[in-house]
Amino acid sequence: MNLGDWGSKATLLAHARAAARMLAEVASSAQSRADICLGMLYHTDEDLCRSKFQRMLQALPIDERHYWIGTLYTLLLPTKLRRSQATYFTPPTVADAVVDLSIKAGFDLGADTVLDPAAGGAAFLSTIAGRMVNAGLNAEEVAYRLNGIEIDTGLSALSNCLIAQRLGKPLPREVIITGDALKVTIPGSYGLVIANPPYGRVALEDVQDKAWRKVAHSGHINKYALFTELCFRQARPGGIVALVIPSSFRAGPLYDRMRAFIRSQAEVLAVGSIAGRDGVFIDVAQDISVLIARKGKVHVASAPVSFHIVGLVPSTSQAIKQLLPAEQGGAWPLPAIDPALIGGATLADYGVTVRAGYFVWNREKARLFSKLQSKQHCYPLIWAQNIKAGELCRPAGKKGQGVDFVSFPSSSTAIIMGVAAVMQRTTNDKQPRRLVAAMVDPSVISAWGGFVSENHTIVLTCEDPNRLALAVRLLNTTAVDQRYRRVSGTAAVSVTLLRQLDLPSPTAFAAALAVSNDDAEAAAAAAYRSTQEAIDA
């Protein structure tokens, strides 16, 4: 079975979910979940062996089998527990690619010790165990070189069994211990610290010590940032740190401390972009990147970083090398599609101002009405779902019917009373575009005197309606969307990055539209080229 084929993976996932539903009543504890998974893995339960998922499982190669038995364990977890632990596993193709990059960076299979502080289903440790055995090391030596920590007792027990199966004999020690890596004392330092850590916000009162200040801002402390600090702390000088983490760290304004911390601790060697989270990480709603770094002072100030593509199958595309920004906390954009093509302009050159949407409906439900309130200052609300590229945007209710209104005690700068456009602030991976913009229908202003947009939108304003419409057409093109994706590592559109986005000048784009018979896609590509040609001339 080739699981590089998404259809096969979708079929397996459907059967895994069906098996989890069937077994939910007996999977009431960590031990029972581990027993169920081991029963499927080792054919010890005739009832389990009759499931379609179990039969499919036995036909898989060992790395895929381990991944899917771990996935079944997570599906057996109560939903709240699964979310709190952020239990999502690394697929074998990604685990293999990360180990390959680590070896290329200097990790020595024959000599180095390894730590995975978020061991999960042992994707990394099991893969490395197999590599070490293939390199000629005996199983007992391998077991003493690998170390893991996992917060779930059942999952740590299961993962130890997976490693033992990979080695072909019982373990002489627990490779993976049960505990919270952010709270336990971890002895020693390691030649490779590798992890796909959990993510999600952490309250300040739940943080163990003051280390969070190195990698986060108060009020925005993420688990994966804390694990990043831990991983660099536990790596020995010259050791390799390999992380699979949300791409938001690359460019998110609130991750500037984390980026500065990483660069203060290590030489960044490689950044991998996992092309399309859909079909790679099950139930994960974020774009994911790979970070490979060597701990120690950076002696070469301008050492370029290799940018790779990591996906369902090994990538045949060659890595592109690019310098990180001079500012330690600056964003790490992906290399340009064609570094020779630049626009040289920004939205400010179009006369466009950018700001985030105002209204957070679930915090101020008392101000939200389904009918116009005559005795109050009320204005129609534009939801993100009302925005469609190429169409005039009009307010419509959250459920698609009528219009929703927001009340104000008096006048407010949140009320948009002039020519405007709106953009979706958050998109998902199934949408073809990250940037989705639309002009607001002028009738909205004439009918109600203004409008308000929710916080999942971005508002664009300009004194010149024609300039704004030109900018909106440009933002909706593939050429601009691709450039934005390379500077942003998250599905949320950043106001800051949007303001800084490299665009062709209004003159160049308008001229290209005239030549291309009003084809915006062709015009955007041509405008980037013509700008560069003008610079070269």
> What is the Cα–Cα distance from 409 to 367, expressed in whole angstroms?
10
pLDDT at 244 over 60: yes
The three-class DSSP label of residue 463 is: coil
Chain centre to alpha carbon of residue 169: 37
pLDDT at 195 over 50: yes
Q: Which single residue is written with the structure tokens 């779902």?
A: 385
Tell me the domain boundaries of the chain. Answer: 1-76, 101-322, 338-352+469-537, 353-461
pLDDT at 91 over 80: yes
Q: Looking at per-residue confidence, does 493 or 112 come out higher?
A: 112
pLDDT for residue 430: 65
User: Are the C-beta atoms of 330 and 488 separated by less than 8 Å?
Assistant: no
pLDDT at 194 over 60: yes
Largest CA distance in the chain: 81
The three-class DSSP label of residue 45 is: coil
pLDDT for residue 321: 85
> What is the Cα–Cα distance from 302 to 323, expressed in whole angstroms?
7
> What is the Cα–Cα distance from 498 to 357, expressed in whole angstroms?
14
Architecture of the structural domain at 101-322: 3-Layer(aba) Sandwich (3.40)
pLDDT at 23 over 70: yes
Taking residues 404-411, what's their average pLDDT?
88
Q: Which residues contact 317 (CB under 8 A, 6 or more apart)?
A: 309
E strand segments, 314-439: 320-322, 344-345, 353-356, 368-369, 377-382, 405-408, 420-424, 437-439
Which of 14-23, 223-232, 360-369 bottoms out in mean pLDDT, i.e. has the lowest?
A: 14-23
> What is the Cα–Cα distance from 98 to 444, expressed in whole angstroms?
52
Which of 12-16, 449-453, 501-505 bottoms out in mean pLDDT, i.e. has the lowest?
A: 12-16
pLDDT at 479 over 70: yes
Q: Which two tokens stand for residue 104?
A: 């290329």
Q: Looking at per-residue confidence, does 152 or 399 come out higher?
A: 152
Taking residues 229-240, what's their average pLDDT?
97
pLDDT at 522 over 70: yes
DSSP 451: B
pLDDT for residue 489: 66
> What is the Cα–Cα distance from 491 to 473, expressed in whole angstroms?
21
Taking residues 338-351, what's their average pLDDT?
83
Q: Looking at per-residue confidence, does 181 or 83 come out higher?
A: 181
Q: Which residues contact 187 (CB under 8 A, 6 or more apart)?
A: none
> What is the Cα–Cα distance from 39 to 45, expressed in whole angstroms?
5
pLDDT for residue 83: 64
pLDDT for residue 17: 84
Taking residues 102-131, what's their average pLDDT?
95
Which of 134-148, 175-189, 247-261, 333-347 bottoms out in mean pLDDT, i.e. has the lowest?
A: 333-347
The three-class DSSP label of residue 448 is: helix
DSSP 390: T
Q: Torsions phi, psi of 12, nearest 5?
A: -60, -40
> What is the Cα–Cα distance from 261 to 121, expressed in whole angstroms?
28
Rounded to 10 deg, the angle between the 520-536 and 506-515 helix axes is: 120
Q: Torsions phi, psi of 105, nearest 5?
A: -75, -15
Counting residues of the chain whose pLDDT is more than 90, the rounded percentage is: 52
Q: Which single residue is written with the structure tokens 């949140």?
A: 414
Nearest to 96 by CA among 142, 122, 137, 128: 128
> What is the Cα–Cα distance from 190 to 112, expressed in whole angstroms?
7
Residue 267: strand pairing partners: 294
> What is the Cα–Cα distance from 352 to 422, expressed in whole angstroms?
12
pLDDT for residue 280: 44
